[in-house]
Amino acid sequence: MSTERAILLVVHPRRPDAAGLAAEVVARLTASGVRVSLDPLSADILDATTRSLVHPAQLPDPAAGCELVLVLGGDGTILRGAEWSRSAHVPLLGVNLGHVGFLAETEREHAHATIDRILDREYSITERMTLDVVAHVDGREVARSFALNEATVEKAARERMLELTVEIDGRPISTWGCDGVVMATPTGSTAYAFSAGGPVIWPDVEAMLVVPISAHALFARPLVLSPHSELAVDIVAGTEGHGALWCDGRRAVDLPTGARVEVCRGSHPVLLARLEQQPFTDRLVEKFGLSVHGWRGPRAPGAT
């Protein structure tokens, strides 16, 4: 059995600073005896020297046999890396090169220290709940996917609303004329669902979140569901609007009237590598730039 260590590297394909950092990361890992594979979208931004040190990822499961998926980029790139890490059931670690970077574990200025921690295997692993998503048209399955952040059913044409009926555990709860509906995990509660007016859910709370988008209805508040609930959204047959299903803003399929989308807790979580046990409250304050001026709580040991 091979004892060679292997890491899949996923890099933002269009950020100039990502290419330079990737070259440094590849040089450091390979010099330490770690095999680095590269996802297909990342290869074009690397220089010839760096490309000579890496191995092309083996599709369709490029993270197979790797101990870690290392992502250099923002939340969008991390969501791309999550597709590979989930299928191989290996942890994901993101170095933020974007703006908010809520899914990232560390920032660009700490990248070298992060590589030290990876080489020494000084990280813990946590599970993040996902959603399994299936779309049907006329009783026929047309798409099957998953979401780490959210699945959304959205209108496809700006000038027309969607008429959606939401079903929970086999029973209808409401029909909305709306721009769409967001179905999110706790991880995704700080993403699209938050922008649509949903609450923030702490990651260790197991729940599903339903948030209507611009709904014309009296009962159109966000709903927090049991993680064991079975959720469905029907585009009401006979209406003019048609829509689209998006998973994590990356994978899409068109939905005609009469289409049905079924969502439940994912059968497989996404594993995240953690370097520090930072409280989620601190991460929320840091990433959203929240004011905590006036707080008079306990001080950290040694603080003045």
Q: Provide the annotated active-site residues.
A: 75
The size of the chain, in residues, is: 304
Give the span between the Cα atoms of 210 and 225, in whole angstroms: 8
CA torsion, points 282, 286, 291, 297, in degrees to nearest 10?
Answer: 20
Question: How far is the C-alpha of 297 from the C-alpha of 166, rounded, in Å?
Answer: 43
Question: Which has the closest alpha carbon to 137: 268, 11, 262?
Answer: 262
Helix (H) or strand (E) holding 35: strand 34-38
User: How open is the CA angle 70-71-76, to the nearest 5 degrees?
Assistant: 150
Report in angstroms the alpha-carbon separations of 261 from 158, 172, 231, 266, 270: 21, 14, 8, 14, 22
